[in-house]
Amino acid sequence: MEMLSAGLDVWALAGVLIIAALASYLHTVAGFGLGMIVIGAAGGLGLAPVTVLAAVVSLVTMVNSAVALPGGIAGLDKRRVGALALGIVPSIAAGVWLLSWLSESAETLLTLLLGALVLYGGLSVGMKPRPHAAVSAPWTFAAWGVFTGLLGGLFGMPGPPAIYHCYRQPLSLNTIRLMLILCFAITSTARTLYVGLQGGLTPEVWGLAVWAMPVVAVATWMGRRFPPPCSAPTMRRVAMLTLVFIGGGLLIDAAGSLI
């Protein structure tokens, strides 16, 4: 079968692009899900290596954020967003190094970690944490930013820690959605810089990213222009079930390879 510029055959490429489109739409309307769904589903199905998918997700997340954010972030608390970035940026390097080491020496452990992270991401969405009485102090955003950056560097999907902390804030759902999208934009930009300096933005990564970027941009625009005719809580439940299904499948697959 003809191989495409991304290093994938036509069916694998089509599968990645379909998953990316669905994940981008959900990410835009719910504020999370892009990285966890793309890497969890496409990586679990073996459509592309996790290291490649993580780099591509970082690139396309920047596209998603560029389309989703304009005109919406003026009201965000700059101190807390800055604190979140302060925790994220330095810890990404450790995550990138850990992914490189695991992909070379412990592939099954990598799959187990990926499955556990995606499953936890889904469960954290469904936990409905009780909001605090007041917005947390900036230093707490920095502390959670460290965990966010570590997971962002490891798999290119910083979701669970940031999702859990942001959803505990007594803020509107739209404000939380924008804060999460901005958080993921910061993580993706920093991760791309780290990976690029290490020579990780290979032709395979760019080949897949070039195919994925317009798909993500269109799906993101669709999410802004045509949101689903259901409530925000319903979208959270859809995201939760999707992530739990993907994470559970990865864990079962990894456990099977250990038997």
pLDDT tens-digit profile of 34-69? 777 888 888 878 888 888 888 898 888 888 788 777
Between 152 and 230, name the one with better pLDDT. Answer: 152
Phi, psi of 172 (to 5 degrees): -70, 155
Residue 3 belongs to a domain: no
C-alpha span between 36 and 33 (Å, rounded): 5
Structural domain tally of the chain?
1
Phi, psi of 104 (to 5 degrees): -95, -30
C-alpha span between 142 and 148 (Å, rounded): 10
C-alpha span between 186 and 145 (Å, rounded): 11
Residue 163 belongs to a domain: yes
Question: 3-state SS string over 216-245?
Answer: HHHHHHHHHHCCCCCCHHHHHHHHHHHHHH
Residue 183 belongs to a domain: yes
Residue 138 belongs to a domain: yes
How far is the CA of 52 from the CAs of 3, 194, 209, in angstroms?
Answer: 16, 14, 10
Residue 2 belongs to a domain: no
pLDDT reported for residue 258: 67
Tokens, residue 125: 């969405």
**What percentage of the chain exceeds 70 in pLDDT?**
87
Domain of 242 in residue numbering reads as 10-258
Q: Is the pTM of this model over 0.85?
A: no
